[in-house]
Amino acid sequence: MLEEVKAGLWYLRNVLLDVMPRMQRRLHRAFEAHFGNIDPLEIPAMVSFGSWMGADRDGNPYVTDAVMERTLELHRWIVLERYLVDLDGLVDPLSAAAHRLPSLPRLDEALRRAEAAVPEVVREFESRNPLRRLLSLMRERIVRTRSNASGAYAHAEAFLSDLRVLREALLAMKAHALANDALLDLIHRVRCFGFHLATLDVREDSRVHGKVLDELISADYRKGSQEERKAALASLRLPPPQATLSEEARRLLDLFATIQRLQARFGAEAIGTYIVSMTESASDILEVLRLASLQGIDRSLDIVPLFETLEALSASTEVLSTLYADADYRAHLDARARCQEVLVGYSDSMKEVGIVASRMAIHTALRRNIELSEKEGIALRFFHGRGGSVSRGGGPTYRAIRALPSATIRGCMKITEQGETRAFHFASPELAVRYLEQSLGAALGARHQQAPETLSQELLSSLASESRRAYRALVEDPGLIPYFQEATPIEHIAALQIASRPSRRSLGAMSLEALRAIPWVFAWSQSRQLVTGWFGVGHALSHWAAGDEATSTLLDEAYRNSRFFRDLIDNVQMSLAKADLPIATRYAELCQDAAIRERIFGEIRAEFERTRSWVLRLIGNRELLEDDPVMQRSIRLRNPYVDPLSYLQVTAMRHLRQGQDAKKESAWREVARVTVQGIAAGLRNTG
């Protein structure tokens, strides 16, 4: 588990710690170009980082309290080591003679404070000029912060205050170049990363909470109404240490005790969020609030519902309304600056109803939730759980942000970066700066749009309904799962050690409900069918446009004028361009039942042609991605390298199903494994 944590931290340590000061400088230059002279520290740090690697317990038994603590230790060690390097680099620039310094009460105060914190080393530095003396004392305190020793900084703001004093002293000496060089970069770094590097988000499934509360309160707890469960939660007390509890109950209670201890050790900003997966009711959130309050951390932790399924997205406004009306939860929000974070999942609803109905449901939920929260005087922060592929909310981030309802990003927003996209966005400083600039520019632009876009609710409803009908007809076909198992490399994907959770939520026969969204998308991508990125779209567009001329015109206007609808259709176009039906035919031939093969793949092929035709007609292109030549060229350049891997994968799958001796089987399995990785790299998405 820690290997996954370290892999993610590489980007923070080796790229983003350097990139963020560059970002702030570029932002400062842009502000000055438009608004005149501005002190760079008047511009807030507009980007921060979080992670759930090492704290995402949802379905992952390997994420333990010890792993979470070690993760936070790594976070702090990395960022403090960087600060020590930066402080060492300031020694020579701050070698100015003491007589050049004007009288600065704040500098004197900072020196007295630092000397009081580490009195045993004061004499060692007393011969140095005031700036270098303060710098040496600050370095000593950072060393002690790293080891949690006496004299350590209590929090990053205290360190930042001393850095500001150094800069003020240099400015007072008219040493503007020194004040705005490496020292300013360090200040920007501390403002962004603090002592925690990245805030850790804890995540657990609501069903785990409910099961444990059945044990702690009564076996009938979850059967009760909302009011009955609320009353039962009020009576909940921590069991005595000697109480006999199930392993699951002990693990959950220990988690909240650990969060309390780690917040005390690393600061509340180190663990700031508790995400509740599969949130379906207000009780799912109130349960976590009560468990947190028993450890005294209900005021230092954002409790975040994750709405994943279509049903949960549809009920999300009612859930929030119930929470806002609850006195205890309202008090919790008051302690959290009256800000409610909501995590919107893109994957499960897509797996249920297809890409169009899923995106429409998310768009509607975003608008309704912001309207409710503004009415209640609550700031709503949306956390978009986007996957790497278009099917799971992926696609160009700039376009995706611009497509959001502008009211949803008036305050701030959060976006996930999946493991498969990290290298594309953060492998080098140049890539990272460009990606972050685009994302920030999109957010600022969308936030200040003059008029909200309008989209016909009749059109929205019709497209969602018809695409869902077509998608459900496919996935509910009794031959779909047998076809999926034989015509895609799902067996080999499930065997790969590439994810923190198993491919299925439960053992037994494979079903759409049990299969997780990532392998569902991944398998369709590997077989070059990419069904999850476009299926049902052609059916929906043709059904709507089959009306009179006015309905067809409304469709054209929606594509031209609605950022949301245009982004959706453009992403579908990209999925169609990545699909390859001639190669997909080779995979389909692996399905041994001819009737199932002809029925399922026949429908896939027909819907592909229908969707391709209608998307091109709507966009006004003759070929896919004609309006995006860079992406078009990229796919054309990659495919000659990917296609042989697909043919090789089909060959490996066919040999493995024919039965081989142990040595040959092992060799073909290795071929299948390598081709899965190669195809994923070539197509630039897994799931």
* 247 within domain boundaries: no
Count CA atoms closer than 13 A to 288's CA, side-chain side: 29
Is residue 634 located within the same domain as residue 510?
A: yes
d(CA 463, CA 442): 27
| Contact in structure between 182 and 93 (CB atoms under 8 Å) | yes
d(CA 435, CA 439): 6
d(CA 356, CA 340): 27
Count of domains observed in the chain: 3
Domain boundary among 395, 415, 447: 447
Is residue 437 located within the same domain as residue 479?
A: no
d(CA 670, CA 261): 45
Domain containing residue 309: CATH number: 3.20.20
In 70-214, where do the E strands start and end? 199-205
Is residue 408 located within the same domain as residue 469?
A: no
Long-range contacts of 612-615 (CB under 8 A, 24+ apart): 612/538, 612/576, 613/538, 614/537, 614/538, 614/541, 614/542, 614/545, 615/537, 615/538, 615/541, 615/569, 615/572, 615/573, 615/576
* 6 within domain boundaries: yes
| Contact in structure between 137 and 111 (CB atoms under 8 Å) | yes
* 232 within domain boundaries: no
Long-range contacts of 616-625 (CB under 8 A, 24+ apart): 618/541, 618/555, 618/556, 618/559, 618/569, 619/559, 619/569, 619/570, 619/573, 624/573, 624/576, 624/577, 625/573, 625/574, 625/577
Alpha-helix runs per DSSP H in 128-175: 130-147, 156-172
Is residue 551 located within the same domain as residue 594?
A: yes
Sign of the CA dihedral with 536 first, then 542, 548, and 553 last: positive
Is residue 37 located within the same domain as residue 155?
A: yes
* 87 within domain boundaries: yes
Is residue 32 located within the same domain as residue 68?
A: yes
* 249 within domain boundaries: no
Q: Chunked in runs of 10, what are the mean pLDDT values of the chain (687 residues)?
A: 90 97 94 92 94 93 95 98 96 70 89 96 90 95 95 96 96 89 97 97 96 92 90 93 93 97 96 96 97 96 96 97 97 96 93 94 95 96 85 81 83 82 88 93 76 76 96 97 96 70 56 84 94 96 82 89 93 94 97 97 98 95 93 91 96 89 90 92 70
Q: 150 is in which domain, residue-wise?
A: 2-193
Give the single-character DSSP code of 56.
B
Domain boundary among 417, 447, 477: 447
At 452 the pLDDT is 57
pTM for this predicted structure = 0.92
Is residue 383 located within the same domain as residue 508?
A: no
Which residue has 């009908």 as its token pair? Answer: 469
